[in-house]
Structure 1
């Protein structure tokens, strides 16, 4: 499963059904103060993307859609980052760069798939060992549904938790968290929002 990340400024009007799009108000701080590591272990800092538009999500099944976004927006200020995560139905058991990339290429989605976006080290997006980036994102934006699905693999449930591995977070050029999408919204379905933000 993957947490996915794309950077953008502001959105207009709801683009999905009720509860599927939650605007993030009064966000404390910005994502540019966070750092992590790429999948290969080298240091990564979010401030290298200042002034860009960004999207973060959790999924293995959305990789094809993310590649399509990466191709559509190649050469623009859109940034897409993927975070492997194993907390939803144990869909990402691999740990090393080689294992994860081989799993993507041959299993999910398979067929020789190669991601066209940067991958970061595996994280926990919920629970006692929640990654700081994901803690900031989830606490600064309302949740997308009341129910927490089965198949979760962590302790200490929280009302702000990522509900399932297809949730996404959209950021503005200022690094502020702007919108949280439920697992029902596909990457392709936020193109209008991305276009709007890129035009800012």
Structure 2
């Protein structure tokens, strides 16, 4: 059976990160963008990370430019934006595609494990969120409109 731990992704510095590094943690995986109507959710995601990280929780951010060109920057610009605007401390990864032929293997797996509205696998917009349990399995998929604070009770149940 495939789990999150079977994948790796590049961080913003271009270093390959085996996601097995997060084994045993509860994770919230989010496709992000710096020029999106939902960008303000960075603040809520960081708040969750700060509050729950000591209990074995992390947020993993995956910038994506597939929705309205809302993440046009390069890795350095993304890192700078996240730090200066939201003081993001949770792990951020290199920009990826989440849909189509070029979709990152992690996102192909996530979408297959937790379908969206009306059973669709496609990610509809930035800030779609996937909750992962301590065993590396997808527990839930949340719409971009779901505020991070609304997910906190589900995260705490898994901690």
Please report the TM-score for the alignment, with normalisation by the length of structure 1: 0.72
Matches within 5 A, 1:148-163: 159-163=120-124
In the alignment, the residues of structure 2 paired with residue 71 and residue 50 of structure 1 have an alpha-carbon distance, to the nearest angstrom, of 19
Q: Does 1:39 align with 2:12?
A: yes
CA displacement, residues 43-83 of structure 1 (integer Å, 9 cap, x when unaligned)? 20111111111111123312111111111113110011111
In the alignment, the residues of structure 2 paired with residue 58 and residue 144 of structure 1 have an alpha-carbon distance, to the nearest angstrom, of 17
* Equivalent residue in structure 2 for 1:101, among 58, 65, 79: 79
Instruction: Figure out how many residues of one structure are paired with residues of the other and give that number.
Output: 153
Given that 2:12 and 2:76 are in contact with CA atoms closer than 8 Å, whether structure 1 keeps it comes out as no
Structure 2 segments unaligned to the other structure (5+ residues):
34-38
* Structure 2 equivalent of residue 7 of structure 1: none
* Structure 2 equivalent of residue 64 of structure 1: 43
Please report the TM-score for the alignment, with normalisation by the length of structure 2: 0.89
Q: Does 1:89 align with 2:68?
A: yes
In the alignment, the residues of structure 1 paired with residue 72 and residue 83 of structure 2 have an alpha-carbon distance, to the nearest angstrom, of 15
* Equivalent residue in structure 2 for 1:132, among 96, 100, 105: 105
Secondary structure of residue in 2 paired with 1:185:
coil
Structure 1 segments unaligned to the other structure (5+ residues):
1-27, 147-158
* Equivalent residue in structure 2 for 1:141, among 109, 114, 118: 114
CA RMSD of aligned residues (A): 1.6
Higher relative contact order (CA 8 A, sep 6+): 1
* Equivalent residue in structure 1 for 2:2, among 16, 29, 49: 29
The structure with more radius of gyration: 1
Given that 2:129 and 2:144 are in contact with CA atoms closer than 8 Å, whether structure 1 keeps it comes out as yes
CA displacement, residues 33-52 of structure 1 (integer Å, 9 cap, x when unaligned)? 00111111112011111111
In the alignment, the residues of structure 1 paired with residue 140 and residue 82 of structure 2 have an alpha-carbon distance, to the nearest angstrom, of 28
In the alignment, the residues of structure 2 paired with residue 181 and residue 174 of structure 1 have an alpha-carbon distance, to the nearest angstrom, of 19
